[in-house]
Amino acid sequence: MSEKMINTLSGSIRAGLSCACPRCGKGKLFRGFLTLSPRCEVCDLDYGFADSGDGPAVFIMFFAGFIVVGAALVTEVVYQPPFWVHAVLWLPLILIVTLGPLRPMKGLMIALQYHHRAAESRFGGGKP
């Protein structure tokens, strides 16, 4: 990989994680918690290409499941607390490790789509 491509990729990753426009890095990507703006207010990039699907949620579920289930198992084996203690400990942790990274991860997926010029495939009528 050339140095220019690495800098461009790192810029896209930084913009995605900060929920900024993948082209200029200055405009806001979201207008709600997970609702995309129609376009960048700085460089006027149309966000119509962006479709992260369930990718961010799947990555976060695997990550959160590993952390929460691992911590709950260790706690159960070492301390054997009552069930209400598990509820008090793990419900807030589940909310933190799932909702916290969801928006930056969606921004990252959209920025990587932009960087790699990913788009839906078009079947029929076109040349291969």
Residue 37 pLDDT > 90? yes
In angstroms, the CA 47 to CA 45 distance is 6
The confidence score (pLDDT) of residue 2 equals: 43
pLDDT digits (tens, 9 = 90+) for 40-83: 999 999 999 888 889 999 999 999 999 999 999 999 999 999 99
Please check whether residue 97 is in contact with residue 71, taking contact to mean a CB–CB distance below 8 angstroms.
no
pLDDT at 6: 46
